[in-house]
Structure 1
Amino acid sequence: MVLGVIACTLLAGRFLSAGAFSAGSGLLPAVLGELLMGGGLYLFLEYRVFRPAERWREKVSTAGMNPIPLEAGILSPLAAVAAERYGRALVELERGIGEREEKLRQVEMLRRDLEETKVHLESKIQDLHTIYDVSTAIAGTLDAEELFRILPERVMRTLGLNDFAILLYNPDTRMLTCRAGAGMASDLAGEFEIATGEGVSGRVFETGEPIYLPDVRSSSEFLYYGGRRMDVRSFMCVPLLSKGRAIGVLNVHQPLPNAFDAESLATMRVLASYLAIAIENADLFHFVKTLAEKDSLTLLYNHGAFHEKIQIELERAARYGRALSVIMLDLDGFKGINDAYGHVVGDRILLMTAGVLCAHLRKSDIAARYGGDEFAVILPETDLVAATTIAGRIAAGISEVRMDTGKGSAITFTASIGYAACLPDSSGRENILNVADRLMYESKRRGPGGVLGEQL
């Protein structure tokens, strides 16, 4: 039977090579085609030729005749050639299968590499989206205090950073001061500061290069915030750079060692650049706003800003049911002092008056240079009795000022003051400024240094 299959395969191979099937379809299909064709041919010969011939031979043998050995006589000359061809086909088949498996292994390796690259790129894209979300959220905030108020929550929500601190350089103190923080540093804002060059944060600020400590216990340079022992093991400090100049640092910490890697550091550097831009924009906005709202000489609020503030305070007093008072004052004889001693002395008097106001007012009170030698003060949550006390102290404080003229003499001066107070249900409370202004001029008519007040 084996010889039959081999012979038939040989015949089929010759048939195929003669062009029964198109060449170039590949080694494996060609070999399989030969095997299938040979098997079919064998079955045909077996049941249609050999078995009938065998039965005929048996009949001849039974009759005492010498039968012709069909299989040996017909197939033996082809067996060797067929076996050799069949062996070569099997070798080619095995080699083809091996090459195909090798190519499949290479394809699988490429697929894994592409999958890893895809995961890496997706992670990078997610980081960029996250940083974009944070930068968008903080870029729309130009008020510095509002920026530092919302910054911890935005960073925690979008980046998943639960422990960090932002330290900014204060040129007045030449120190790095904590302005915002989260987690272990959440209560350090305004409470912690460190000298430039001191510790890891100070060195990063001076060099402008980030530092990563996989485990702070192995670093003698790491300083805990204010000496407080905090659960910090991994620590990363990145400079906040604006136009190549360090304005502060971003500290990120975790309670476990080796919590960060090179990609974490790269992400924090990008975040730090956006933070620096947002902080610089907020500082610039504050500076411009200050120029627009403040009097350039006394640094009190100017006329326009005062009117904006009084509307805000009137609405707030009405909303919360609180009292509100307003003081107006005008320096007595200021024009004569200017004419006699010059504008330099006049400016010094204005500065001294502003100093007296600031010395007798609370942080919540709002003082302004209303115009020329006139000043105005808003006293939130202040009734007539309290306003009377404050107005009296201001009048006394101004009258006690003695100023050297530079000509061997000293001068004193006074101010005429008018003030008014209103309650949430007071009639005409929106005219409180006009009432205080009227009382100021009435006081001035009665004589220098007078104080008059009225309840609306």
Structure 2
Amino acid sequence: MWVQHPPGASPEQRRYNRLNVLSRIRQSLALKLILASAIPSAVVLLAGLGALVAHSHRLSVRDPAMAFDELRTGAILGTLLALTFAGMTIALAARHFLLKPIQGLSRVMARAELGEFLVRARVQSEDELGKLARSFNTMLARITDMAVADIEAKESLAKMERDLSLQAELRTVNARLGAHVGEMELLLEVSHAISGTLDLPELLEMLGGQVCARFGVSEFSVMLVDDATHQLVVEAVSGDAPRNARGTRFHLGEGITGEVAARGQTIYIENVASDPRYARQARPGRDKGSFLAVPLKSKGRILGVMNFNRPQENAFSQQEIRLAEAIAAQAALAIANARLYQQTLELSFTDALTGVPNRRQLFLRLENEVSRSLRFGDPVSLLMIDLDLFKRINDAHGHTVGDGVLRGVALALRRTIRKIDIVARYGGEEFCVVLPRVGKPEALEVAEKLRRAVAAASMPGPEGHPALSVTISAGVATLGTDAQDVAGLIEKADTALYEAKRLGRDRVAMAVPVQRASA
């Protein structure tokens, strides 16, 4: 602020006052406009007034009245000219100090309005417009900072969204991996369980237990194809499936399971109530839920069908169906191996020529029956049978005919005995018959019955020749009466056989202590 110099003011004080005045002028738009218009106008007015006074003074020497009129008229015109000049000066000052800065600021504001927050207004002075431009620039800077912060926030939010998305994907992948690991564990457990035994019933029982416990089904059953009848037979049931369903038979193509066995393709019924095929094999009251039937295939051959039940509709996903098919593939391989083992076992215990148990199986069964007899006191009898004059048949007709006679005699013996009795080939033309729970009198009757059955049977002869007739001799021995163990029982029955031979063949003899004679 300017103040009058006090008397004796120093040069520094005078310079400070001058700077203060100039600073006030620079910071005030109104002072700039006033000074820009007033100073030139005052100069022009003073110059005009001076010229008018001088002219009037010269004119007053000649004509004072005329000089006064000229002075009055000149004053009026001078005033008008001064006002006009002042207006022009004000307009030029306003254009310089007001309009041009405002236009420049307006252009910057227009660009900022379009989103160019990095532009800045030009600060040309320290007055109100300069302050306005500076404030506008400060506002733009803050807006820029806010925009940068907003961009950073958006980028941070986008990064968070990406992280959350990745976490969600990771959880999904983990869930899938967990489900896959669970499936692999189930397959391994099923494989371990069913590969631990070659006994088919035990294998199917363990399979059903694992599937019901780990696969979450309410009912499970296994149906295998009976090669003799070409029918599906229920061999194993688990869960809530009725135990009396075992042994139930279905024709190939009958119902859902029959269709699966015939076509070799999986069938999934989302709602059993809406499928008429299911009603043919469903038990009463089981008319709700979902049903899955998967074929058991091994090397392109249909072994049977695995059935899965759940009480809910549409309860099996595609992933679970694939898992069920994988379980079926494991089970089919195990079933095929168990059957192959059983067939191999049967072959090892079966005489290849006659189809009856061989000597090895005979001794195993005899040991079992003797043990049972000693434990429970039931009698056991043994028949030792030999074809009479069998060597003559081989010599006369050849071994091919002789093999046919052996097969015919084995068939005649098997047709005559009970289901619990055992016919076995002892060796050569000799057969043994084990009679559980049969004493010596009844054993003699059975032996006579067998002798008559063989004598009445027609044996295949050479091609183009009539059938042959053969006879047998039999020796009878009973455990406890004639012997106390397997070896003694066989020895006594063999001795009785040779006694029958000695007496003329085609007869039955009991075990008696006689010396063996040549047959």
1:83 CA displacement: 6.1
Q: Give the alignment partner of residue 115 of structure 1, picking from 160, 163, 171.
A: 171
Q: Is the 8 A contact 1:420 1:455 kept in 2?
A: no
Q: What do you get for the CA RMSD once the two structures are aligned? A: 3.2
Which digits, 9 at most, give the CA deviation of each residue in 1:95-128, with x for residues without a partner?
4234323322321222122112212211121121
1:422 CA displacement: 1.7
Partner of 2:119: none
The answer to whether structure 1 residue 220 and structure 2 residue 273 are counterparts is no
Q: Give the alignment partner of residue 414 of structure 1, picking from 460, 471, 489.
A: 471
Q: Is the 8 A contact 1:325 1:421 kept in 2?
A: yes
Decide whether aligned partners of structure 1 residues 202 and 343 sit closer, same or farther in structure 2, where only a CA change above 3 A counts: same
- For normalisation by structure 2, the TM-score amounts to 0.66
Query: Aligned partners of 1:439 and 1:226: how far apart in 2?
Result: 59
The answer to whether structure 1 residue 447 and structure 2 residue 504 are counterparts is yes
Counterpart secondary structure, 1:294: coil
Counterpart secondary structure, 1:257: coil
Structure 1 residues without counterparts, runs of 5 or longer: 1-74
Q: Is the 8 A contact 2:233 2:247 kept in 1?
A: yes
Counterpart secondary structure, 1:184: coil
Query: Aligned partners of 1:112 and 1:226: how far apart in 2?
Result: 43
More RCO (CA 8 Å, sep 6+): 1
Q: Is the 8 A contact 2:265 2:295 kept in 1?
A: yes
The answer to whether structure 1 residue 103 and structure 2 residue 159 are counterparts is yes
* Residue type at the aligned position of 2:219: D
Count residues with an aligned counterpart: 381
Partner of 1:240: 296
Partner of 2:308: 252
1:85 CA displacement: 4.4
Q: 1:308-323 counterparts in 2 under 5 A? A: 308-323=364-379
Decide whether aligned partners of structure 1 residues 347 and 430 sit closer, same or farther in structure 2, where only a CA change above 3 A counts: closer
Query: Aligned partners of 2:467 and 2:290: how far apart in 1?
Result: 64
Q: 1:283-322 counterparts in 2 under 5 A? A: 283-322=339-378
Query: Aligned partners of 1:153 and 1:317: how far apart in 2?
Result: 36
Query: Aligned partners of 1:341 and 1:226: how far apart in 2?
Result: 60
* Residue type at the aligned position of 1:180: A
Partner of 2:190: 134
Decide whether aligned partners of structure 1 residues 157 and 83 sit closer, same or farther in structure 2, where only a CA change above 3 A counts: closer
Query: Aligned partners of 1:226 and 1:126: how far apart in 2?
Result: 31
Partner of 1:45: none
Query: Aligned partners of 2:458 and 2:301: how far apart in 1?
Result: 46
Decide whether aligned partners of structure 1 residues 91 and 172 sit closer, same or farther in structure 2, where only a CA change above 3 A counts: same
* Residue type at the aligned position of 1:247: L
Q: 1:44-443 counterparts in 2 under 5 A? A: 85-86=141-142, 88-182=144-238, 183-184=240-241, 186-194=243-251, 196-225=252-281, 230-403=286-459, 405=461, 409-423=466-480, 427-428=484-485, 430-443=487-500
Decide whether aligned partners of structure 1 residues 455 and 168 sit closer, same or farther in structure 2, where only a CA change above 3 A counts: farther
Q: Is the 8 A contact 1:395 1:414 kept in 2?
A: yes
1:267 CA displacement: 0.8
Structure 2 residues without counterparts, runs of 5 or longer: 1-130, 514-519
Counterpart secondary structure, 1:418: strand
Counterpart secondary structure, 1:167: strand
1:265 CA displacement: 0.6
* Residue type at the aligned position of 1:274: Q
1:330 CA displacement: 0.6
1:142 CA displacement: 2.1
Decide whether aligned partners of structure 1 residues 391 and 161 sit closer, same or farther in structure 2, where only a CA change above 3 A counts: farther
Decide whether aligned partners of structure 1 residues 232 and 352 sit closer, same or farther in structure 2, where only a CA change above 3 A counts: farther
Decide whether aligned partners of structure 1 residues 320 and 96 sit closer, same or farther in structure 2, where only a CA change above 3 A counts: farther
Partner of 1:34: none
Query: Aligned partners of 2:218 and 2:420: how far apart in 1?
Result: 34
Query: Aligned partners of 1:87 and 1:404: how far apart in 2?
Result: 115
Partner of 2:79: none
Q: Is the 8 A contact 2:366 2:486 kept in 1?
A: no
Decide whether aligned partners of structure 1 residues 87 and 375 sit closer, same or farther in structure 2, where only a CA change above 3 A counts: same
* Residue type at the aligned position of 2:478: A
Q: 1:3-82 counterparts in 2 under 5 A? A: none
Query: Aligned partners of 2:133 and 2:459: how far apart in 1?
Result: 138
Q: Is the 8 A contact 2:495 2:511 kept in 1?
A: no
* Residue type at the aligned position of 1:170: D
- For normalisation by structure 1, the TM-score amounts to 0.74
1:423 CA displacement: 4.5
